[in-house]
Chain A
């Protein structure tokens, strides 16, 4: 087991966002985390990557307790969190944004090699490498965010809405990229509103409602689940 989240509770001020949430991600799996707007999906990713600490429960990554570590330490041991909306550094160039993703010592030495890999995945970023991130279109920003997330050479990528704001063709492309990453040995935890498509490429999935895991299982089974069809697939 690569990532194990065990009975985690997370609060924002007085509001409890996660209630005894447990989930696991095995090596080379794609695990989808599905839920309505406001269910706690982003909070779950923030809790894993140390943006916010849980008030109770534990998180282990490759056998190591990480729920008290700071974000930069969590990046170092191999988890990359690609946030919703991308959040690039707007006044840095595309190239500089990517370099920022390789900031920790080990990966910094390999940054040029890793950047070339990212440019192979997203050729448009190479075309734009000297441009300030603020001048990118929404879709390009999203690609930059994914690229920057890969710069730390993570073993586990937590992706928050990678298809956010992308046109239909690019959405397809992003899902192809995600599958390709897994085929190259990456493990992925995927939060997506494209519930159908994300469950189609995922091995397993969890459904989060109001901060509780209400259902989990093989993606194929979740796709057949009547509640999920109605509440999340709009069928």
Chain B
């Protein structure tokens, strides 16, 4: 089943076409990678899906229902959660509070505060941050702030999770652990669309990869097809 699909998705910033007539889809249970050179429009596409930006034309559907046009909080409550490339944690509250906010305000049904507390604890443990739950989010490393964002996103009980550069700032050994986290999220029944630059990471977990360049989709396929695609090698991977 197609959990997410977009048709003719287009976004202009002034005269610049950041996303131009892009069709895409994500099937339920998939891990799909979104790659492309810096400035290709990857984060913009995330911003369109999550309604941080409005589309100029085209349509985005989630589980068959049109979500383009909804407000960000409504999209979150329909079951689409995200993290941010430039992290957006609440710096002056402890990380536990950051996650709790997701449980309290991001779910479709709402949650009692005792359930939300339990949920937030469980999720901090899940992402490996339970030992630092009382620390202010701004005092964590950037890489750990990303983990807080993952827990906060999961707290909203999403069916689809958008991950924007989860492994940036991690060394190769830590990257492997982060990819294991991604797999465990999928094992909870959550579909994942992820932006990532580290090919080793992408290759190890993704079922399928889409490549953007100058706002257009230039390739799509299995990790193996993508790494052998001549255009992708030229514009992105290098020799």
Residues of A within 8 A of B (CB): 12-13, 15, 34, 36-38, 42, 84-85, 135-142, 161, 164-172, 193, 195-196, 230-234
Contacts and interface: CB of A to CB of B under 8 A. Distances in A.
A37 B174 contact: yes
Closest 5 CB pairs of A and B: A139-B38, A234-B172, A137-B39, A37-B143, A169-B238
Contacts of B39: 136-137, 139-140
A230 B172 CA distance: 10
B90 to A, nearest CB: 17
B38 A165 contact: yes
A46 B31 CA distance: 37
Contact of B237 (A13, A136, A169): A169
B144 A38 contact: yes
B197 interface: yes
A15 B172 CA distance: 27
B168 A233 contact: no
B174 to A, nearest CB: 6
A84 B142 contact: yes
Given A37-B170, A167-B197, 6 more contacts: A38-B144, A85-B86, A166-B197, A193-B170, A231-B173, A234-B172
Given A137-B43, A138-B43, A234-B176, A165 B171 contact: no
A136 to B, nearest CB: 8
B16 to A, nearest CB: 8
A166 B238 CA distance: 13
30 contacts: A12-B139, A37-B170, A37-B171, A38-B141, A42-B141, A85-B86, A85-B87, A136-B39, A138-B43, A138-B85, A140-B39, A141-B86, A161-B169, A164-B142, A165-B165, A165-B168, A165-B197, A166-B197, A167-B35, A167-B197, A168-B197, A168-B199, A169-B238, A170-B37, A171-B197, A195-B171, A232-B173, A233-B171, A234-B171, A234-B173
B105 interface: no
Nearest to A232: B171
Interface in B172-191: 172-176
B173 A230 contact: yes
A167 B172 CA distance: 15
Contacts of A138: 38, 43, 85-86, 165
B142 A140 contact: no
A84 B169 contact: yes
